[in-house]
Structure 1
């Protein structure tokens, strides 16, 4: 047992990745934490009120430590009318197939980070993790005052060094095989998870958490052998009974084949890994994040209702074909047989 495990009171050296947008329900988070790992609530798309409610729901299910994760906001990018028109034109035929009105940008394209952060301080989770950038020193200090550990996300050595300088308590290093959004904010190296873990462990003195393509007990052991204090697994939990993964999404994961994932900006405007489908192929002129994410929200919602996986963002890592169904505790037990 390493110091990070001891500090958090974990029995299992595994973090359930914070997958925003529905999969990480309070039930999943609580089940993983209750079974000895660290459950993580992907709260980036929640309003402050929803975040407080979800935190309370986790607390009602377990007294064990858990994490809350947010996206660090970058300055909103500028766009031309021509760029907006091109993005709308790419999506319009897909809207027509689902009997939706033409795509339009909503007034609000992302949640209020300041309000979300205040909600996190009220929830007081054991861990606050973040991605897409660096957290200000004042925010790090406020979390430490609340007794919350702070974990940043890096896709390369220089990002990891920057986070360590900022005073975070640990760094998630995200290898290229990881599903969902790329968490970095400078040059994304898309590195091999184990190789990146080894390099970052040598470069910084705080604990490192390995993420990306870790689907089996052998993968977890390999990450720990590479020097990681914990292994973070996301795709492995997408088909858990407690996860909020929709039925069509689950079916697509169950049918996944090796080599089926791609890196795409089509859904959100930010690079993310998921199963290839018509949107990843046909949408070629996305707006930058968060505008594209807001522009495709109606399409994704309607596609989930209609069971149309060709229009869903099917985030998944390269190991998706090795996933399984079961309870969160059963999946955690597979990843770390006691």
Structure 2
């Protein structure tokens, strides 16, 4: 159960991967502590500049000699019309004013070419710094990128929300597929099917993917303890990826308001929204989501809407105001605890072994 092709490939003691949560949650301390405790720590580098990535990789290497990973967002074609941006800004204006933000004209709108160039630079840093594992969300990189990473013996992981996406990830030559159930917190990783068609529950998704791919399957979405770990492995997963469980850990860089929000949330408060970023993501329902509900279908797609709401999210966090923060969370917030990374991992393994021995 604990030693399999995933632990061997990733050179980890336990088949537990810390989800790559972008936006500052995956501090060097968190990533290193996960790896030092027997799992695989992962940098959520989706929003980071190449300079920031290099700096954090070097920090982590000072804190651990174990394997760790990095996650990047695969760039997709996007465009937003002037009218879409104008509409979004009009809707967001009262919220900005409430937070004492009056400079929306200074917001830099992402351009597809710039996003692609940044991605290429990110890949270059990963290779130069010899990061052992690289995972991807929102799609599959080009054949050239995959080939280049493979030449440098970097282990590759893709994120899939459906069987079809998992099959494409295997075809691309990646080594492992992370299957993301609809329970997962944060952004949906789907890239072929539409959002609605990609909302397959994890316990349904795992065995279907396992039956259609030969590469190892990692399960993600709502897993918080040894019970989720065992359920996943019984269905054929070779390991688990956990996000929300690590988010409330002491070493996590999540804002205290975010941690408190999860620790006091109920499962029926966890909803999907595209209001923050233009891409469906799961988090705690708050005032921003409620106020944007009628307009969210009309806001620009990712990453344009994400750029438009960035100052709102930052200002809200700076004011310790959860009303306008993106409080990403999976569907099992009642299982979240404040604990160290080491305690979390030890408890998951202890519970899993206890269940196994009682069967």
Where on the TM-score scale, by shorter chain, does this alignment land: which range? Answer: over 0.9
Give the distance between the partners of 2:290 and 2:341, measured in 1 at CA.
33
- CA drift of 1:212 comes to 0.4
- CA drift of 1:146 comes to 1.4
Structure 1 residue 114 and structure 2 residue 120: aligned? yes
Give the gaps of 5 or more residues in structure 1: none
Structure 2 matches for 1:105-254, cutoff 5 A? 105-108=107-110, 111=115, 112-187=118-193, 188=195, 189-254=198-263
Q: Note if contact 1:91-1:103 (Cα within 8 Å) is conserved in structure 2.
A: no
- CA drift of 1:107 comes to 4.5
Deviations 1:6-51 (A, max 9, x none): 1222111110000000111111000000000011100011100100
Give the distance between the partners of 2:209 and 2:94, measured in 1 at CA.
45
Structure 2 matches for 1:36-115, cutoff 5 A? 36-77=38-79, 79-104=80-105, 105-108=107-110, 111=115, 112-115=118-121
Give the distance between the partners of 1:99 and 1:325, measured in 2 at CA.
33
Give the distance between the partners of 1:40 and 1:236, measured in 2 at CA.
14
Deviations 1:114-173 (A, max 9, x none): 111111111222210001011112211211221210000100011111111110001000
Give the distance between the partners of 1:312 and 1:223, measured in 2 at CA.
31
Aligned mate of 2:340, from 317, 327, 336: 327
- CA drift of 1:108 comes to 4.2
* TM-score (ref. length: structure 2): 0.91
Residue 324 (structure 2) aligns with: 311
Aligned mate of 2:10, from 8, 11, 14: 8
Q: Note if contact 2:248-2:337 (Cα within 8 Å) is conserved in structure 1.
A: yes
Count of residues in Structure 1 that have an aligned counterpart in Structure 2: 337
Aligned mate of 2:301, from 285, 288, 304: 288
Give the distance between the partners of 1:333 and 1:310, measured in 2 at CA.
35
Q: Note if contact 2:35-2:66 (Cα within 8 Å) is conserved in structure 1.
A: yes
Q: Note if contact 1:96-1:102 (Cα within 8 Å) is conserved in structure 2.
A: no
Q: Which has the higher helix share?
A: 2
* TM-score (ref. length: structure 1): 0.97
Deviations 1:44-80 (A, max 9, x none): 1110010001111111100000010000000122x33
3-state DSSP class of the match of 1:213? coil
Give the distance between the partners of 2:157 and 2:30, measured in 1 at CA.
20
Give the distance between the partners of 2:24 and 2:34, measured in 1 at CA.
16
Give the gaps of 5 or more residues in structure 2: 354-359
Give the distance between the partners of 1:280 and 1:102, measured in 2 at CA.
22
The answer to which of 171-180 and 120-129 deviates more is 120-129
Aligned mate of 1:256, from 250, 261, 265: 265
Give the distance between the partners of 2:243 and 2:82, measured in 1 at CA.
37
Residue 20 (structure 1) aligns with: 22
- CA drift of 1:269 comes to 0.4
Q: Post-superposition, which runs of at least 4 consecutive aligned residues in structure 1 deviate over 2 A?
A: 79-82, 102-105, 107-111
